[in-house]
């Protein structure tokens, strides 16, 4: 396989199981017929390499947890964390755009299983390298770290080749002790193209979706095209935590479609949907590991986690950059760090004593 072919297969594998891994054996077999088909220019593959922080910044240490016994499958590491970013850019590139979705995907090559943890975009966090550009302002919303790291005119506040994903990964580490091994960023147009390439998805809602542009989405079964799926995934009429539930519903439906036998004939269109459309640092070796594991991972070994909603209180804070008060979530970062530690150890949720009253949300793809 060429480098671009491996990139696209790996990205399809990561997106197939809740935007994590698994196009399945059938899809991989069909892909072999495409192995010599030219797929266009290579996608960005510059690795995230942390660079020295200013003296006032100290990244939180990452302490690996003693792993469970067993040999990792597919020659992979015991566990791998991939930062998954849904960019809200309406263009075709990754010059601008906020991180509309920020999820960390933990891939366990020993069990094996895949777990995802969602980070609300409106967390007020420290972002390195921005203060000198913003008159000393060193805090902004989490979703802005991605924007400030990308190469758009007026931004591009750090020069590391990992750009927006790298700065967002570093921000997650500094604030929550998140360890990121790799990243994938997908913009809105790519998401729409992917859903349309497989002929849409089928979802069931237990209550009406409060969409201003589509009042017809009542409770029950619906077939969504790419634009409709994106609209549901971005709906915040009932709050950001409800939006997270909608996203989980869309991701599970997409995973089910991508791993179904009938989508095999649509793999070529799906591959084309990703040409020059994804921002990632996956290496050929990692791509091979992901595609290998995707064919062996049981479907029930996929969990999507949200922080307990009762930990968050909505408030407003004055943002000097915009010259106005903006909405943010007030939350104890120490508690979130504890949950992150549980997540990265593969033991979420283990009911830490100081969080016993908080109930994390877990979504399962059936």
Residue 30: predicted pLDDT: 39
pLDDT, tens only, 33-54: 333 332 322 223 343 344 444 4
- Which of 49-53, 308-312, 317-321 is the least confident region? 49-53
In a domain, 280, yes or no: no
**CATH code of the domain in which 144 resides:** 3.40.630.190
Q: Rounded to an integer, what distance in angstroms lies between the CA atom of residue 25 and that of residue 261?
A: 10
Reduced to 3 states (helix: H, G, I; strand: E, B; else coil), residue 139 is strand
Q: Rounded to an integer, what distance in angstroms lies between the CA atom of residue 252 and that of residue 362?
A: 13
Residue with tokens 């067993």: 70
Residue 284 phi/psi, 5-degree rounding, is -55, -40
Domain that holds residue 220: 43-48+73-260+301-345
Residue 180 phi/psi, 5-degree rounding, is -115, 130
Q: How far is CA 11 from the centre of its chain?
A: 12
Mean local confidence (pLDDT), 342-357: 68
In a domain, 8, yes or no: no
Q: Rounded to an integer, what distance in angstroms lies between the CA atom of residue 165 and that of residue 68?
A: 30
Residue 12, pLDDT above cutoff 90: no
- Which of 1-15, 29-43, 222-236, 335-349 is the least confident region? 29-43
Closest CA to 67 of 109, 103, 105: 109
In a domain, 63, yes or no: no
- Which of 13-27, 142-156, 167-181, 338-352 is the least confident region? 13-27
Mean local confidence (pLDDT), 54-69: 53
Residue 88: predicted pLDDT: 79
- Which of 24-38, 95-109, 286-300 is the least confident region? 24-38
| Share above pLDDT 90 across residues of the chain, in percent, rounded to a whole number | 27
Better-predicted residue by pLDDT, 37 or 207: 207
| 162 contacts 281 by C-beta, under 8 angstroms | yes
Q: Rounded to an integer, what distance in angstroms lies between the CA atom of residue 185 and that of residue 175?
A: 21
- Which of 86-100, 108-122, 150-164 is the least confident region? 86-100
Residue 1, pLDDT above cutoff 50: no
**pTM summary value:** 0.75
| Average pLDDT along the chain | 74
Q: How many CB atoms lie within 10 A of CB 165?
A: 30
Highest mean pLDDT among 53-57, 256-260, 277-281, 327-331: 327-331
Residue 195: predicted pLDDT: 83
- Which of 217-221, 233-237, 288-292 is the least confident region? 233-237
- Which of 108-117, 141-150, 154-163 is the least confident region? 154-163
In a domain, 93, yes or no: yes
Angle formed at CA 217 by CA 242 and CA 232, multiple of 5 degrees: 45
User: For residue 179, what is the DSSP state?
Assistant: -
Residue 213, pLDDT above cutoff 50: yes
Better-predicted residue by pLDDT, 84 or 52: 84
Residue 359: predicted pLDDT: 57
In a domain, 168, yes or no: yes
**Predicted confidence band at 249 (pLDDT cuts at 50, 70, 90)?**
confident
Q: Rounded to an integer, what distance in angstroms lies between the CA atom of residue 221 and that of residue 216?
A: 12
74, two tokens: 């597919």
In a domain, 322, yes or no: yes
In a domain, 353, yes or no: no
Mean local confidence (pLDDT), 160-164: 86
Angle of the 24-32 helix axis to the 3-16 helix axis, nearest 10: 160
268, two tokens: 């070529």
Residue 108: predicted pLDDT: 93
Provide the total of helices (H) and of strands (E) in the chain, helices listed first.
10, 13
Mean local confidence (pLDDT), 223-238: 79
Q: What total of structural domains would you count in the chain?
A: 1
One DSSP character per residue, 304-351 reads EEE--GGG-EEEEEEETTTTEEEEEEE--HHHHHHHHHHHHHT-----
In a domain, 357, yes or no: no
| 282 contacts 184 by C-beta, under 8 angstroms | yes
Residue 245: predicted pLDDT: 74
| 30 contacts 267 by C-beta, under 8 angstroms | yes
Better-predicted residue by pLDDT, 305 or 59: 305
Residue 25, pLDDT above cutoff 50: no
């Amino acid at each position: 396989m060429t480098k671009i072919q491996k990139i696209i297969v790996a990205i399809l594998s990561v997106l197939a199981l809740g935007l994590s891994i698994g196009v399945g054996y059938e899809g991989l077999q069909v892909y072999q017929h495409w192995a010599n088909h030219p797929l266009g220019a290579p996608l960005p593959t510059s690795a995230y390499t942390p660079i020295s922080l200013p003296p006032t910044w100290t990244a939180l240490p990452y302490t690996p947890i003693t792993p469970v016994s067993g040999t990792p499958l597919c020659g992979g590491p015991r566990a791998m964390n991939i930062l998954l970013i849904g960019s809200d850019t309406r263009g075709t590139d990754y010059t601008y755009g906020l991180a509309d979705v920020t999820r960390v995907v933990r891939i366990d090559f020993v069990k094996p299983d895949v777990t995802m943890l969602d980070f609300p975009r409106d967390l007020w966090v420290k972002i390195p390298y921005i203060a000198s550009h913003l008159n000393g302002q060193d805090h902004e919303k989490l979703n802005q770290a991605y924007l400030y790291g990308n190469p758009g005119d007026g931004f591009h506040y750090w020069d590391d080749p990992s750009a927006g994903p790298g700065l967002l990964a570093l921000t997650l580490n500094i604030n929550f002790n998140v360890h990121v091994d790799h990243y994938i960023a997908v913009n809105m147009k790519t998401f729409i193209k992917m859903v349309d390439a497989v002929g849409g998805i089928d979802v069931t809602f237990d209550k009406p979706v409060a969409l201003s542009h589509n009042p017809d989405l009542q409770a029950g079964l619906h077939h969504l095209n790419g634009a409709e799926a994106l609209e549901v995934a971005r709906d915040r009429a009932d709050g950001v935590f409800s939006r997270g539930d909608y996203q989980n519903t869309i991701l599970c439906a997409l995973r089910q479609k991508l791993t179904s036998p009938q989508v095999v004939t649509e793999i070529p269109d799906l591959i084309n949907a990703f040409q020059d459309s994804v921002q990632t640092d996956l290496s050929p070796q990692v791509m091979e590991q992901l595609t290998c594991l995707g064919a062996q991972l049981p479907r029930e070994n996929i969990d999507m986690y949200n922080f307990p909603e009762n930990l968050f209180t909505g408030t407003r804070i004055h943002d000097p950059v915009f010259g106005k008060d903006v909405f943010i979530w007030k939350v104890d970062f120490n508690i979130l760090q504890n949950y992150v530690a549980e997540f990265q150890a593969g033991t979420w949720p283990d009911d830490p004593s100081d969080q016993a009253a908080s109930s994390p949300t877990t979504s399962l793809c059936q």
